[in-house]
Amino acid sequence: MDRKLLAPRYWLTWLGIGVLWGAARLPYRWGMAVGDVLGWLAWYLIPYRRHIVDTNLRLCFPEWSSAERDTLARRNFRRTGRGLVELALAWWAPERRIARLGHVEGVEHVHRALAEGRGVILVSAHFIPLDISGRILAREFPFQVIYRQNRNAVIEHFMGESRRRHLEHAFDRRDMRALVRALRARRVVWYPPDQDYGRRHAVFAPFFGVPAATITMTSRLARLSGAAVIPCYGLAREDGAGYVVKLGAPLEGFPSGDDLADATRLNASLEAEVRRYPDQYYWVHRRFKTRPEGESRPYTRTRRRRRKRS
């Protein structure tokens, strides 16, 4: 490990790493209780993220009352706190413990596509149990992922170590050529198109009725590689007893040749899943930050000006 990671500016990060390391070694329900506390603290200590969640829920569930959205926001923060402990489990839990925590449904769809000589694009989304779901999925078949380097060098160190230990390979999200090569070589690649990466290579497709900048890379990858596109969602069980990773049947007629139609179809599929498990979605992301021409950004906060003393 690079000695630079021990610099004083990372000491607070190391404290957090220590808390997560300890939580990952507790019995599962105790660890989730620690996650609940972390989420409760984040609700009060990170008002900016709370504002993002509130804005997203207001845009996506306008028919709900403010009290209903507030209840969901608080539940979502608790889930996000649990997600930190789940991340620690994904980093450090032994295989025998991962085997007890969850299972995969629909794995036959992937095996069938590979037997047909095709690569597989697992079209996923940023549900909070994302990392622990990856460990569970890796027990069924090897797969590759795309990633964006974390700005915090300590966190990136542990994330990189986990990727090297548990996954077949990891690509920078901008390396499209490597992705196409992997898919043409009949590999399985996990790909999440549900975040806002700006206007480049994106179309505005509806998500909960709101135009959302949606990248068209999924269609391009499928078109260039001939890979099967299979929905993949990792979720926490409602009874609190672990996780399930759901793999759907390959999308028929995808890509269609119409990027907007394809993006709309993917967003509609994701929206249906989010409506089933709204507290588990990654609402802290600014999903609607890129707007069509003429629309203002919804996350801007108006600051009250201090009155000047006379």
Read off the pLDDT of residues 205-259 as tens digits, 9 standing for 90 and up: 999 999 999 999 999 999 999 999 999 999 999 888 899 999 999 999 999 999 9
* Diameter over CA atoms, the chain: 79
Over range 182-186, report the average pLDDT: 95
- The identity of residue 186, as a single letter, is R
Percent residues over pLDDT 90 in the chain:
83
Domain boundaries, the chain: 9-280
Q: What's the average model confidence in pLDDT over 118-128?
A: 95
Taken in order 272, 253, 140, 175, the sign of the CA dihedral is negative
Residue 302: pLDDT band with limits 50, 70, 90: low
Grade residue 304 by pLDDT with cuts at 50, 70 and 90.
Answer: very low
pLDDT tens sequence across 33-61: 999 999 999 999 999 999 999 999 999 99
pLDDT over 90 (residue 74):
yes
Residue 52: its pLDDT value, please? Answer: 97
Q: Which amino acid is at 290?
A: T
- Are the C-beta atoms of 110 and 139 separated by less than 8 Å? no
Q: Closest Cα partner for 119 from 223, 230, 192, 226? A: 226
Average pLDDT over residues 164-183: 87
- The contacts of residue 255 (CB under 8 Å, 6+ apart) are 218, 219, 220, 222, 223, 262
Kindly report the length of the chain.
310
The pLDDT, as a whole number, for residue 207 is 97
Q: Measure the CA–CA gap between 189 and 227, rounded to whole angstroms.
A: 10
Q: What is the mean pLDDT of residues 153-182?
A: 88
Q: What is the CA radius of gyration of the chain?
A: 20
CATH of range 9-280; options 1.20.120, 3.40.50, 3.30.70, 3.40.1130 = 3.40.1130
| Averaged pLDDT score across all residues of the chain | 93
Of the candidates 224, 217, 229, the residue with the CA atom closest to the CA atom of residue 254: 229
Quick check: 243 and 129 in contact, CB under 8 A?
yes
CA pair distance 284, 78, nearest whole angstrom: 12
Q: How far apart are CA 78 and CA 58, in angstroms?
A: 19
- List of residues 6+ apart from 19 with CB closer than 8 A: 34
Residue 40 CB-density burial (10 A; 0-12 exposed, 13-18 middle, 19+ buried): middle
Q: Could you read off the pLDDT of 201-213 as tens digits, one per residue?
A: 899 999 999 999 9
User: Judging by beta carbons within 10 Å of its beta carbon (0-12, 13-18, 19+), is residue 206 exposed, middle or buried?
Assistant: middle
Q: How far apart are CA 85 and CA 60, in angstroms?
A: 28
For residues 43 and 72, what is the distance between their CA atoms, to the nearest angstrom?
12
Tell me what pLDDT residue 42 has.
96
Question: Mean pLDDT lowest for which of 73-77, 81-85, 300-304?
Answer: 300-304
Share of the chain above pLDDT 70, in %: 97
